[in-house]
Chain A
Amino acid sequence: MFEDGARPSAAGFSMWAVVVVAMALAALFLCPALALAQEDLEVAEPETTAPVLLAPPRGLSIVDTRNDRGGSVTLTWELSPDEADGLVTGYEIHRSADPDTGFAFSGRVPAGSDTYRDSGLEDGAEYYHKVAATDGGIESFSEIVGPTVAFPQWFNRARINVLIAVIIFVLAIVYFVTSARSGKELFIRRLPGLDEVDNAVGRATEMGKPILYISGLSSISDVATIAAINILGEVAKKTAEYNTRLIVPCADPIVMAVEQEVVKEAYAEVGRPDSYNDDDVFYLTRSQFAYVAGVNGIMVRQRPATILYMGMFFAESLVLAETGASVGAIQIAGTDAVTQLPFFITSCDYTLIGEELYAASAYLSREPVLLGGLKGQDTVKFVVGVLLIIGFIVATLAATGAIPTDFMAPLYVTG
């Protein structure tokens, strides 16, 4: 606008100043006027589209949630009559510690729902609730209901069937353990895979090569790992008797500690505590494929005559078993990992499927406590089989209309 060296004239400056002041004044007066006009528009808008007032849900009732650990109440209500017209899209639940104020949003359920479990409450504190039918914008609240107090129950009545099943299981175990201790012979059918353990240990002894025992990658909290540790104890007794080296690489530090104790105990039990070598039961790594790399290295360098895979396995199963087969080892596997069993079946000489793994320690040791446990499991399996047969007969009769209801169905429901 201004060229180099030129100066604006006084008249020109005054004109610009007048224009700017005029615009400022116009803005000062016009903006509130525009704002008011906008408010008028916003207020006026509902007049053109009449608001739809939803009928609120009725009959709101609230009780402490039964059979829980506390911290929740359960609300039930009758659906808004406007649901039939498709006006309601959901229900919003609000709660407060004060019936007069402070209601806050707690949760939302879709249309058609007439119950809600409000959790995250403090046990023993009083709460008030109200439920609103909503179409996404307008909310129509029910009456306020309360006070309601949440508290925990000591006994979960919805799990009485579980309690009965556990009692049957425990009583069966106690009965069979007592029977076994009194000298009664308890029969267990032959398990070919476990019969081969003796041969496998003997083979390693004759060949002067070690036995490699892999107890899976899971932690001690896994039932399969506990079963694997039990079997390790029995295998360790045999290796101690034959003075054969037993190598146990572990993937979990706690499992390693337990396995060291179990193997040491087994060596002491057969009178060879000095043969036990702490370094043969060692921690390798927790990382899945690093563990595989390490174990594969052990296989190709130590050339074990026998490899036992017992416990919980994941994707490493086939890599381990293939490497074991390539070094000419006799391999016996046992796992309850359903997805890994096919790989062991195809690449190992013998495979213990699922529960055979749990039976193995009792089978090998013939100890009364373990035998009692196994017989207890069989008792539960027998009861389950009978209940299953009764269950599908009753279900069939109910489905074909021969009897009014399936009276067995409630037995299977647990809370």
Chain B
Amino acid sequence: MTLFWTTIGAILTLSIYSFLYKDNPFYKFAEHLVVGVSAGYYLVIYYWNYIDPNVVTPVFLLRVGADRIPLLGMDWWMALIPGILGLLLYMRFFPKVAWVGRWPLGIYVGGYAGLGLSPIMQARVITQLGANALPLAGVEDPFAAMTNLVLGISIFAVMTYLFVAKRSMGAGNKLVRAGVIVLAAVIGYVGYLALSLLSNAGVVSLTNILLVVGLLGTLSYFFFSMKHKGLLGGLARVGIVFLMVGFGASFGYTVMSRISLLIGRVGFLLHDWLHLID
């Protein structure tokens, strides 16, 4: 009997996979079967998980241990109002009073939106703000030495480019300008080495700087009230780079988990059904 049901499962699995080739009667059969069975299954789930415990039992029945006595429960009036609102949804089937069916929808949607405002403000705004208002220096950071190196080189290179190369060499000679920037970077590195010997190097936190810059940039990207030009535009571009790096990492991670789902299904076919692998 187990082999029979395993074979049914395998045939349905292969029927669904046949969609990879093209739409066909096997896929149609499996599709309609799974949609129909799941819709019926969820009807029962909805009744026993929502309607029975929230309306039927408190209004019409009283639980005494495992028994249910047909009496008004303690909180029957609290369940009755939502119950009536739920029934009003069915008014939409009667065209003359269909408008009444909008009342429960309005209460439902408005209620959820209103109730969600305060928790979202707490969890997604204020708590996140606290978690990201981080010190950019004065904390231990595994990349601190590298941060100072990058910052030293970058600042010196940019300053040199802005105040020396751009003014004195014109806009045309890109090769010379690139050479100046490289030279400036080397000078910046030597300067960094000298400074690190003289001062307490490693106090700037690369991790925190990346986090704060990424957050400000991403926040700027989702600012809709101004055109993305100038400073806001630059920040927004930084933000979209951070977003895409994050999405790329998420993509790779999720693809791996989907591969494991495929492996599970192939394992079912080859192990449980065909017994070809141990």
Chain A contacts to B: CB under 8 angstroms: 159, 161-162, 165-166, 169, 187-189, 191, 220-221, 223, 226, 253-254, 257-258, 260-261, 283-287, 289-291, 293-294, 296-297, 300-301, 315, 318, 338-339, 341-343, 345-346, 353-356, 359, 374-375, 378, 380-382, 384-385, 387-389, 391-392, 394-396, 398-401, 408-409, 411-414
Given A220-B109, A342-B250, A187–B121 Cβ distance below 8 Å? no
Residues of B within 8 A of A346 (CB): 251
Q: Does chain A have a CB within 8 A of B63?
A: no
Q: A354-B222, A355-B222, A356-B222 are in contact. List 19 more A-B contacts (CB 8 A).
A: A165-B125, A165-B126, A166-B117, A166-B121, A220-B112, A254-B108, A261-B105, A287-B41, A290-B39, A296-B31, A318-B258, A342-B250, A343-B251, A346-B251, A378-B224, A381-B222, A411-B130, A412-B133, A413-B130
Cα separation A253 to B138 with both chains bound (whole Å):
55
Give the nearest-CB partner of B23 in chain A. A300
Q: Does chain A have a CB within 8 A of B150?
A: no
Residues of A within 8 A of B116 (CB): 221, 223
**B95 CB to nearest A CB, Å:** 11
Contact A396 B42, beta carbon cutoff 8 Å: no
Cα separation A394 to B243 with both chains bound (whole Å):
27
Q: List the 5 closest pairs (A to B, CB-CB), nearest first.
A: A412-B130, A391-B133, A399-B138, A287-B38, A399-B135
Contact B135 A374, beta carbon cutoff 8 Å: no
Q: Does chain A have a CB within 8 A of B162?
A: no
Contact B130 A296, beta carbon cutoff 8 Å: no
**B43 CB to nearest A CB, Å:** 9
Contact B126 A381, beta carbon cutoff 8 Å: no
Q: Does chain A have a CB within 8 A of B89?
A: yes
Quick one: which of B106-154 are within 8 Å of A by CB?
A: 108-109, 112-113, 116-118, 120-122, 125-127, 129-139
Residues of A within 8 A of B112 (CB): 220-221, 226
Which of A191, A315, A338, A385 lies in contact with B219, CB distance below 8 A?
A385
Give the nearest-CB partner of A338 in chain B. B250
Contact A159 B225, beta carbon cutoff 8 Å: no
Q: Does chain A have a CB within 8 A of B166?
A: no
Residues of A within 8 A of B171 (CB): none
